[in-house]
Amino acid sequence: MPPDILDLSDQISLTPLQAVGIPLALIGAILLSLGAQFQHRGVARMEQHHGSEASTGLNFSQIKALLARPSWVIGTAFLGLAIVFQLSSLSLSPLMVVQPLGAVALVMTAIMNSRITKVRLDAISIRAIVMCVVGVGVFVGIAAMFAKSTVITQRELSIVLIVLVIVLALWIVLFLIFRKNASPVFYILGAGMLFGFVATLAKVVIDRIKTIVISGSGFESTDFLTILCIVGLIAASLLGSYFVQTAYASGPPDLVVAGLTVVDPLVAVTVGIIVLGEAADAPMWAVIAFVITGAVAIFGVFSLSKHHPQLKS
């Protein structure tokens, strides 16, 4: 293997084996929806016994209390399974195909939460959810039309890692500054951005491990960047998960899932387009469409955060 290449994927069209990643991603989305509902219930129960300060950031005692809540533990188990299915789908299918399927979790969570809380979604909330799903779906769909698989060199992977470090540092600073007055959408955007990098790095690591297994070449000195990918993946996952739990303390689960299923794929695909050059040949109309559909999806998240009926009740 050339020393500067970390990913030798060269095919974007779906083979029968790659198509198996689609149902795996859908199962992961269902598990994500269930996990979000159970974890949100666990955080709400914890707040009843430990005050409502969790909305400004969970402290150590509150985290310990969450570990003692059966509903939160069950939700975490569901999310763990969701991650397994998502990683399995990423190992088989292109990132641009798998990521938008998470929108299924948004629809499921919205319906489930409405039934459980007896709070009916109004027309504005439904419109916001449709904007999220359609916006991210069209965004990724257009990206997939012009995407081309490229080898990931050390330089490109280094850029991804540097940007991740900057994003991590930025959100830590913003959290320390605004934690007392932060709205749910603050934590949702932060978690979505971080998990977008998690998806990108996970795909890189999975492809590198597959290359090692298939070729039997073993780890090389150049795999130091792959190890850094794993470290960055873990760091982003931990901070993103912390933001998600804090968002549950101040917002309904479907709002949290809306942010994750919109911001996550937008970030992941944007990294692929800008840093990895996966859509370098896209025409100008596609670039304009990226901006418009991405803006529509993000606007849907903000609209849901302002007009969700559960936040008014």
Q: pLDDT digits over 114-132, tens only?
A: 888 787 888 888 888 888 8
pLDDT for the residue 174? 92
User: Which of 55-59, 159-163, 167-171, 309-313 has maximum average pLDDT?
Assistant: 167-171
Domain that holds residue 166: 16-312
* Mean local confidence (pLDDT), 239-245: 89
Residue 179: how many other CB atoms lie within 10 Å: 14
User: Which of 7-21, 79-93, 144-158 has maximum average pLDDT?
Assistant: 79-93
Rounded to 5°, angle at Cα 91 from 269 and 198: 45
* Mean local confidence (pLDDT), 288-304: 86
Q: Is residue 123 part of a domain?
A: yes
Share of the chain above pLDDT 90, in %: 8
Q: How many domains, the chain? A: 1
Q: Is residue 124 part of a domain?
A: yes
pLDDT for the residue 278? 67
* Mean local confidence (pLDDT), 259-272: 80
Q: Is residue 80 part of a domain?
A: yes
pLDDT for the residue 254? 80
- Kindly indicate the confidence band of residue 4, based on its pLDDT and cuts at 50, 70 and 90: very low
- Kindly indicate the confidence band of residue 11, based on its pLDDT and cuts at 50, 70 and 90: very low
Question: For the chain, what is the mean pLDDT?
Answer: 79
Q: Is residue 6 part of a domain?
A: no
Q: Is residue 11 part of a domain?
A: no
pLDDT tens digits for 58-116? 777 777 888 888 888 998 999 889 888 988 887 777 666 676 677 778 888 888 888 88
- Residue 209 pLDDT greater than 90, yes or no: no
- Hey, what amino acid is at 214? I
* Mean local confidence (pLDDT), 165-193: 88
CA-CA distances (angstroms) from residue 161 to 3, 102, 170, 292?
Answer: 18, 24, 14, 27
- Kindly indicate the confidence band of residue 239, based on its pLDDT and cuts at 50, 70 and 90: very high
- Residue 198 pLDDT greater than 70, yes or no: yes
| Residue of 132, 146, 130 whose CA lies nearest to 96 | 146
- Kindly indicate the confidence band of residue 168, based on its pLDDT and cuts at 50, 70 and 90: very high
pLDDT for the residue 310? 65
Q: Is residue 8 part of a domain?
A: no
Burial class (CB in 10 A: 0-12, 13-18, 19+), 174: middle
Rounded to 5°, angle at Cα 111 from 109 and 114: 100
Q: Is residue 2 part of a domain?
A: no
